[in-house]
Structure 1
């Protein structure tokens, strides 16, 4: 993506990012039920807009301002080298959050562009740029409808952004393929598919499967009016591999980070108790055919 084009997109979008998030309605329950694509998008945009401050207050130190951590298992790109040599490359970060990974890539010589559905998250990305002095184009966009030209990027990646928060992840894969150049790499981290069968509990209760792995009905947190406030969509490992192949990618690696010795931090459902027994993260490394 040309720098001038990226700067124009950034200028147009950042002006629309509000300075203050609105209050999120109280979550009144959890359900498993079908959710349409537009409802998923609206719910998750609202959720992350209003949760952005709390999320970074809790996890900001772990993630850093200009660091690239793939997952709660604390696997860093500086160690894993899943993107390879990024010097001089145009790189797209999908579902960037505060864009700390992209700021790290700037230090590695890449030309990143970062986008997120959430204005609240992009507000934190702007704050991180001010703190570090490392700026890059920031775009507010829906991962199922990318506002970028065909063949604009050498690589795309996401560390837990977008994939499980969209209704049609197969469309997302096709959109990423469209904006990549021939031979481009697409690397994405998600919750490991097997975790779907287990409760979101970091303790011993989270080690007993209670739900069918093959049930793809979305997980929904609902408000007092019964409306969706937060939605996650599940795909089995086979589903994910077929999505990758159908979009024109070749899966070259599937990384399942092990829980490191001495790592005691609990992150939601991730914990030493579970991490020593069950995989928590799957990182798919793909190349465009």
Structure 2
């Protein structure tokens, strides 16, 4: 077993001539990965802390791929410029758009460039600091929980979320209902999440990630926890059917389900996403939802 301590530089191999204690410091703790239940409060607290601690590394590692003002739906690289899941870009001008789980607000920056009026909302203070660093011209930043949106009813024309909030909440329906509440009748909400089939495979980009290793139907959350068993990161699994039922239960109408194919130009690996796996199984699911006009 490796010692949980390491000797400070210059101490190793030196014989002490006094009673001065050898100063040691603990190695960085590696969270334990497990599958266990995790409720709404624990999930929210853990994920706020995780994103605050890891926002800097995330932006360094993925900032080039995401760009400063691109709207990318997932690791495959599907771009809203081509996908038009929110509608034709020329029709976004003047539209009020809520981006949920905005991170450094890359998507909102693209929306502002089309003439929209985006609001970038995130749970993580540090992620929003990166949004400030890159620039916020034409964008409003809001730090809040997606399950308790600080807006009046019916104030947005559109809402979007690229891997934001929904994978990390214990119960997606209250979040979806909040989004529906702040949309005008006829408003559209488009969100992307990890494709549910991915939960049956190891999170590995190479050949070792191509064999089923777990039950697709096991909804037990993935949790990383500290020495005391406190969650420091939580991600929740829903099957494809669960996601559809959640959308309907929240009062939306599902009008499209997009499963992006891996494009030939994309050679990068992002966690378990890779060209090898992306050419065989879907990695992202994008749900296009509408609050019907008759709901006015």
TM-score by length of 1: 0.89
Match of 1:127 in 2: 133
2:113 corresponds, among 107, 113, 120, to: 107
Which is richer in helix?
1
Contact 2:118 2:138 in 1 (8 A): no
1:160 and 1:143 map into 2 onto residues whose CA distance is 13
1:72 and 1:261 map into 2 onto residues whose CA distance is 13
Structure 2 matches for 1:50-65, cutoff 5 A? 50-65=53-68
In the alignment, structure 1 residue 208 sits paired with structure 2 residue 208:
no
- Aligned pair count reads 262
In the alignment, structure 1 residue 190 sits paired with structure 2 residue 193:
yes
- The CA deviation at 1:28 is 2.9
1:263 and 1:122 map into 2 onto residues whose CA distance is 28
1:152 and 1:167 map into 2 onto residues whose CA distance is 26
2:282 and 2:195 map into 1 onto residues whose CA distance is 6
Structure 2 matches for 1:246-257, cutoff 5 A? 246-257=249-260
Match of 2:269 in 1: 266
Runs (5+) with no aligned partner, structure 2? 1-27
Runs (5+) with no aligned partner, structure 1? 1-24
* Bigger Cα Rg: 2
Match of 1:176 in 2: 179
In the alignment, structure 1 residue 39 sits paired with structure 2 residue 42:
yes
- The CA deviation at 1:168 is 1.3
Contact 1:27 1:224 in 2 (8 A): no
2:153 and 2:72 map into 1 onto residues whose CA distance is 28
2:235 and 2:183 map into 1 onto residues whose CA distance is 26
- The CA deviation at 1:135 is 4.0
In the alignment, structure 1 residue 157 sits paired with structure 2 residue 167:
no
2:286 corresponds, among 262, 270, 283, to: 283
Write the deviation string for residues 213-259 of structure 1: whole angstroms up to 9, x where unpaired.
11111000111222111000111111111111111111111110000
Post-superposition, which runs of at least 4 consecutive aligned residues in structure 1 deviate over 2 A? 25-28
TM-score by length of 2: 0.87
RMSD across aligned positions (CA): 1.0
- The CA deviation at 1:261 is 0.9
2:172 and 2:265 map into 1 onto residues whose CA distance is 35
Contact 1:193 1:237 in 2 (8 A): yes
2:262 and 2:128 map into 1 onto residues whose CA distance is 30
